Amino acid sequence: MMADLECGTLCSVIDNLEVGVIIINTERRVVRWNNWLAARNCHSAEQADGKLLLELFPEIVGSRLEMAIDHAIRDRMPSLLSPALHGTLLPLYQNAEDRKRNRRMHQLIHVIPLTDAPLQAACLIQINDVTATVSRERVLRQQAENLRRNSFVDPLTGIYNRRKFDELFALEFAKAQRQQKPIAMIMLDIDQIGAYTAWYGNEQRDLVLRDIAAELKAAIQPAGDILARFDNERFALALPGMDEKSACLFAENLRLRIGTLKIANESETEGKLVTISLGLAVMVPEASADTHTLLSSADVALYQATHEGGNAAVCFSVEEGNFHTCG
């Protein structure tokens, strides 16, 4: 029988703590095994007392826990075994039901050297049950995932994302169809964004995208107009109720407005400022019309503006089938 640890009141405290406590001596034999632990695995304090820890838990031979114990006893250095990397290292169960189903608890284990030589206590192993935290994290993660799927905002710019744009645009298009009112569609992008990024880097490019988005947002009607990040490079702007002449003026205004921001662009050989190109198309949708036609028309107009040198707003007239520069 091992000599009992002389600890009186303290032993009572150890035994009643709401964490697992194992104290082992330099021979790696158990000197203390508290109630919390006894209740959660198959060894009682009496059974564990004096036994080699590796005898009680043969599966930890060669494991990080065994090495951590060596580190504590030999080198007097404490170790941490995280649930992230080890999960369910020891055979501990929250209750009989879990034990039946072999569902171990998630454990956070600290191995701490004790330096009280006369007490024969060389090392403290503290075990926390973190199953609750793990499952709470799992719930939070699921909620975050749901939120992400239901979100409609582009994280960088704060304006609508593509998914939301598609949804809102479809609604407005259908309304315009019903009411036989015009709906204008503007596609725009930043000129030579690739060269800008190569010169200034990704983070700077992101800042410019954010600033331009903010400027565009300030320019539109918050109630009716739909501004969105269409994809990595393009913005989309739907303007229900606007006819072609007004939309053209509006597009040209946006172009000038971004110019007034005077964002430096050393990668440009001329002008040295960040500019945008815009493509515009307007429709009074027929009963048979669909959103794609309007989108492609605006896109083609944007293509035209870009390839005529950029820094321009071009309108594609769906009826006449031709391009003209706005302003």
User: If binding is defined by CB under 8 A, does position 81 make contact with another protein?
Assistant: yes
Dist. CA 186–CA 251, nearest whole Å: 8
User: If binding is defined by CB under 8 A, does position 82 make contact with another protein?
Assistant: yes
Is the distance from CB of 111 to CB of 72 less than 8 angstroms? Answer: yes
- Among 2, 35, 38, 63, the residue binding another protein under the rule CB under 8 A is 63
State which residue, 200 or 323, has the beta carbon closest to another protein: 200
Region of 8-16, 17-25, 60-68, 213-221 interacting with another protein (CB under 8 A): 60-68
Dist. CA 164–CA 154, nearest whole Å: 10
**Mask for 231-270, x = binds another protein (CB under 8 A):** ----------------------------------------
Number of Cβ within 10 Å of residue 23's Cβ equals 21
User: If binding is defined by CB under 8 A, does position 324 make contact with another protein?
Assistant: no
State which residue, 18 or 203, has the beta carbon closest to another protein: 203
Q: Interior CA angle at 96 toward 95 and 99, to 5°?
A: 95
- Among 9, 12, 58, 62, the residue binding another protein under the rule CB under 8 A is 62
Residues 105-124 close enough to bind another protein by CB under 8 A: 108, 110, 112-113, 115
The distance of closest approach from Cβ of residue 112 to another protein in the complex, given in angstroms and rounded to an integer, is: 7
State which residue, 54 or 273, has the beta carbon closest to another protein: 54
State which residue, 54 or 318, has the beta carbon closest to another protein: 54
- Lookup: tokens for 219: 């320019």
- Lookup: tokens for 89: 């290292």
Number of Cβ within 10 Å of residue 95's Cβ equals 11
Q: Interior CA angle at 4 toward 69 and 110, to 5°?
A: 25
User: Which helix (H) or strand (E) element contains residue 247?
Assistant: helix 244-260
The distance of closest approach from Cβ of residue 166 to another protein in the complex, given in angstroms and rounded to an integer, is: 24
Q: In angstroms, what CA-CA distances link 256 with 198, 262, 282? A: 25, 10, 21
Region of 78-86, 205-213, 269-277, 298-306 interacting with another protein (CB under 8 A): 78-86
Dist. CA 257–CA 211, nearest whole Å: 12
The distance of closest approach from Cβ of residue 78 to another protein in the complex, given in angstroms and rounded to an integer, is: 5
The distance of closest approach from Cβ of residue 75 to another protein in the complex, given in angstroms and rounded to an integer, is: 4
State which residue, 106 or 229, has the beta carbon closest to another protein: 106
- Report which of 105, 73, 68 is spatially closest to residue 87, judged by C-alpha positions: 105
Q: Which amino acid is at 127?
A: I
Question: What stretches of 151-232 show up as alpha helix (H) in DSSP?
Answer: 162-179, 193-200, 202-219
User: If binding is defined by CB under 8 A, does position 137 make contact with another protein?
Assistant: yes
Dist. CA 150–CA 165, nearest whole Å: 13
Is the distance from CB of 237 to CB of 188 less than 8 angstroms? Answer: yes
Residues 145-174 close enough to bind another protein by CB under 8 A: 145
The distance of closest approach from Cβ of residue 74 to another protein in the complex, given in angstroms and rounded to an integer, is: 8
**Mask for 84-103, x = binds another protein (CB under 8 A):** xxx-----------------
The site for another protein (CB under 8 A) is made up of 62-64, 67, 71, 75-86, 108, 110, 112-113, 115, 137, 141, 144-145
